[in-house]
Amino acid sequence: ILERHGRDGTRLVQILREVQDALGWLSPQTLSYIADGVGWPRARVESTAGFYSFFHTRPLGEYRILFSDNITDRMLDSRDLMRALCQKLWLEPGHVSEDGLVSVDTTSCTGLCDQGPAVLANYRALTHMTLERIDQMAHLIRRRVPVGDWPPEWFHVEDNIRRRDVLLGSSLQPGEALAAALARGPSGLLAEIERSGLRGRGGAGFGSDIKWRSCRDAWGDAHYVVCNADEGEPGTFKDRVLLSSYFDLVVDGMCIAGMAIGANQGLIYLRGEYRFLLEKLETRLEQRREAGLLGRNILGKGFSFDIDIHVGAGAYICGEESALIESLEGKPGKPRIRPPFPVTHGYLGQPTTVNNVETLALASLIAVQGGEWFRAIGTPASTGTKLLSVSGDVERPGIYEYPFGVTIAEILADCGARDTQAVTSAGAAGHCLAADEFGRHIAFEDVATGGSIMVFDQRRDIFDVAQNFAQFFAHESCGFCTPCRVGTAVNVRLLNKLANDHGSPYDLDEMQRMYRLMQGASHCGLGNTATIALQDMLHKFRPAFERRLHSPEYEPAFDLDAALSQARRMTARDDAEAHLSDNLSAHLSS
Ligand code: SF4
């Protein structure tokens, strides 16, 4: 494995993944061996291995079962399924069975919310889990049947495309967009991208022409195109479908970006949860090379460009572009201090453009049809179409493509939502909309979204949604800066207090304080957005929180005096001196 990766430390995430696949886990001896092999200090290798949740530095069994823990999975009773499997296998969630055979745990959203509850078994995706399948799974594990021999229908992942527009309705042939772009030349293509008004589809909406021009104009030994396929936002799965069924549009888009900025190398950062796509994508890249659509002298036009796929290892923060670049360089995915920005100092310190999968696919359409055609779709400030991943309380979960400007109400009608109470418009990191806002429009100037639309009907307790989101962010915070590291953990504790019947108005005020603190002082977008939905829920769905308030006064999270009862029993004392006074108890607990 080391030789295949040229003993190159910047390939460390790939090396660790492949070694773990081969050996089952990353032992201290293995990490030392890898460190020697790539010529890096052992501590550096260990810090990368310890950062990603899909790497394990202790044995977790022959079978590693991870239940997707997004709120939409929970709504489909994923927690009951996990408990059932644990009972059958005689183990506790988060632990390894006594015989060392299997471990069961949860993981953040796996990008399969349209066909949940979802599970990763040895990092292979399983969909539509039921109690019956859980029974069978326990049986297969006890009989030590390899995951590859489990029923093939369990691994079936559907596209679930429900509404097509210009992108999902495209009939462009592989290489057609690239040929059109080569005919226009770099300047002509950039002019069309500018005319189109194309903005990044990851959610931030930065102008693609500005990003590409800045990168092209930056000095460097080499330029790079990175396709950000690390869609980890809870409730998002549109990139999964683009990669699975529209991959040539994405690859053409990467080649087009490469031509525009003067790059000869592209990298796809594929999220670890989508590892099941890897073989198919690698095969397709090879077919394109054989057809002269990738590699040296593409289409005989003197332009060379090739693509490498890098698989992530379970870290939501790597969707942030500078964290993603750190990961591509073999390091923990912690966001860089900016400036400088990736367009001037990106991958290996060279000018790099990082684009969303959907943005690149749309660039292919623009290369063929032109900027004016694209600008005529959508709204003046938000041109073109947007892919939405719709899940939750709807009859038809899946992918919907709309011109920008569509209202939330239209989406709800199309997907068969009834009695809708709330909609989260950008996964866990965006706003939570109440019924009186369903007339609002999906557009950068109104409701901006990376594409995750989760729907909650009147049966749902919004408090459960808030708690799930808070747990998600506390788990995914990279820990680099204090406001986010501490703030996300404090929010979980405050919500747990309410859930455990110890809440008071003080706790709600404290959540507001965390919001203000994290918004202003966090280092990256994760900390800045981690409390947006929670704030919305506190304001718009206040009763869901207030009905859990136990007292109008401050209430400690636990009863310290009661916690000392065991010590009193052991010392056979129950006099006044062996009890804490109420005041002292409250003070210490706080
Ligand atoms: Fe890491 Fe959170 Fe700080 Fe971002 S805001 S750098 S995720 S700790």
Domain-wise residue ranges, the chain: 9-51, 63-158, 162-375, 385-457, 462-546, 560-589
Q: Residue 514: what pLDDT?
A: 95
40 Cα: distance to centroid of ligand 1 (angstroms) = 26
Shortest CA distance to 470 belongs to which of 529, 420, 517?
Answer: 529
Please name the residue whose Cα sits nearest to atom 1 of ligand 1: 478
Q: Residue 558: what pLDDT?
A: 66
Domains 385-457 and 462-546 share a fold: no
528 Cα: distance to centroid of ligand 1 (angstroms) = 9
Q: Residue 582: what pLDDT?
A: 59
Order of all β-strands in the sheet with 63-68: 102-107, 63-68, 119-121, 124-126
Q: Please state which CATH number belongs to domain 385-457.
A: 3.10.20.600
Q: Residue 152: what pLDDT?
A: 97
> Is the shortest distance between the CB of 318 and ligand 1 below 6 Å?
no
> Is the shortest distance between the CB of 484 and ligand 1 below 6 Å?
yes
Listed in sequence order, the residues at least 6 apart from 139 whose beta carbon sits closer than 8 Å to its beta carbon are none
Which residue from 327, 523, 532 has its CB within 8 A of the most atoms of ligand 1, so it is best to mutate?
A: 523
Listed in sequence order, the residues at least 6 apart from 391 whose beta carbon sits closer than 8 Å to its beta carbon are 72, 113, 114, 116, 235, 237, 397, 452, 453, 454, 455
Q: Does domain 462-546 have CATH number 3.30.450.20?
A: no
- Look up residue 457 and give its two tokens: 């009907």
> What is the domain class of 63-158 according to CATH?
alpha beta
Shortest CA distance to 301 belongs to which of 186, 188, 182?
Answer: 182
Do 100 and 59 form a contact (C-beta atoms < 8 A)? yes
Order of all β-strands in the sheet with 303-311: 295-298, 303-311, 265-270, 224-229, 352-356
Q: Residue 583: what pLDDT?
A: 56
The three-state (H, E, C) secondary structure of 522-540, written as one string = CCCHHHHHCCHHHHHHHHH
Q: What is the pLDDT of residues 254-276, one digit of tens each?
A: 999 999 999 999 999 999 999 99
299 Cα: distance to centroid of ligand 1 (angstroms) = 44
Q: Residue 553: what pLDDT?
A: 74
CA–CA dist 224, 267 (Å, integer): 8
CA–CA dist 329, 13 (Å, integer): 8
> Is the shortest distance between the CB of 429 and ligand 1 below 6 Å?
no
CA distances (Å), 297 to each of 213, 293, 301, 322, 407, in order?
A: 23, 9, 6, 31, 45
Using the atom order of ligand 1, give the atom closest to the CA of residue 482. Answer: 8
Give, as one character, the DSSP assignment of residue 436.
G
* Maximum Cα interatomic distance, the chain, rounded to a whole number of Å: 92
Is the predicted ipTM greater than 0.90, yes or no? yes
User: For the chain, which ranges sit under pLDDT 70?
Assistant: 558, 581-590
201 Cα: distance to centroid of ligand 1 (angstroms) = 22
Q: Please state which CATH number belongs to domain 162-375.
A: 3.40.50.11540
Torsion of CA 366, 372, 373, 378, to 10 degrees: 100
> Is the shortest distance between the CB of 485 and ligand 1 below 6 Å?
yes
Q: Residue 577: what pLDDT?
A: 81
